[in-house]
Amino acid sequence: MNKNSAPDKDFSEVCDLSNSKNKIVVSRGNPFAKLMIIGEAPGAKEEELGEPFVGRSGKLLDKLLQNAEIDINQDVYFCNVVKCRPPQNRRPTKTEIQENLPWLYQQIKLVNPEIILLVGATALEAIFKNKSPISILRGKWINWDGRLVMPIFHPAYLLRNQSKDEGTPMSLTKSDFLKVKEKIDTLK
């Protein structure tokens, strides 16, 4: 698959998830942002509202961004690897991810962000095609296709691990967002 070409079929022709009652969830935020945040797939709240990262995890993500002084309306474009909610909010299958990648690559091409945050293991695996543990790669800058990419913990994981003590997932993620803010400021 060529990640630089536009999808050659209608979305509903290739994604089995879109053939159910599911709503296609494309994005929210600024389509001209320098920062793109890519998650796994929409959840129930995202499907209901038609926007990614608007449930409990999304609210935490917004709060973490705002605490780092990153403007969620101006500086960020949010999307997911998979555009429709998998049944019972299960993890997307490899086939579902592959079916959705042309649309994700097209979003990346159109938005043309300088920085991409990969939120959670599914987004990390989809982009880098490997199963490196997110605990090892999180918080590190990786050059991918001329863009700075940083994997971070998923906010759902942070909701299950809320300790703010130094060295905890929440503490590490807060420091990751400070690195992102510093990088955004150098791009302005």
Say whether 40 sits in a helix, a strand or coil: coil
Checking if the pLDDT of 9 tops 70, the result is no
- Of the options 3.30.342.10, 3.40.470.10, 3.60.70.12, 3.60.20.10, the CATH number for the domain spanning 11-187: 3.40.470.10
Cα separation, 184 vs 37, whole angstroms: 13
- CA 130 → CA 54, 94, 134, distances in Å? 28, 12, 11
Task: Say if residues 176 and 170 touch (Cβ distance below 8 Å).
Answer: no
> What pLDDT band is residue 2 in, cutting at 50, 70 and 90?
very low
**For all residues of the chain together, what is the average pLDDT?**
90
CB atoms within 10 A of CB 66: 12
Per-domain residue ranges for the chain?
A: 11-187
pLDDT digits (tens, 9 = 90+) for 133-178: 999 999 999 999 999 999 999 999 999 998 999 999 999 999 999 9
Query: What average pLDDT does this structure show over 101-110?
Result: 96
pLDDT given at position 181: 98
Structure tokens at 133: 């543990």
- CA 163 → CA 67, 131, 158, distances in Å? 17, 26, 9
pLDDT given at position 15: 60
pLDDT given at position 130: 83
Cα separation, 136 vs 114, whole angstroms: 23
Single-letter residue type at 106: Q
pLDDT given at position 17: 57
pLDDT digits (tens, 9 = 90+) for 61-82: 999 999 999 999 999 999 999 9
Query: What average pLDDT does this structure show over 17-27?
Result: 73
Q: What is the dihedral of CA 8, 108, 136, 188, to 10 degrees?
A: 170
Checking if the pLDDT of 86 tops 70, the result is yes
In 32-186, which ranges are E strands?
A: 35-39, 76-80, 115-119, 142-144, 147-152
pLDDT given at position 88: 85
Query: What average pLDDT does this structure show over 108-128?
Result: 97
Task: Say if residues 148 and 117 touch (Cβ distance below 8 Å).
Answer: no
Enclosing H/E stretch for 39: strand 35-39
Residue 180's closest CA among 145, 132, 147? Answer: 147
The residue that leads in pLDDT, 22 or 12, is 22
Q: Which residue has the tokens 């990419």?
A: 149
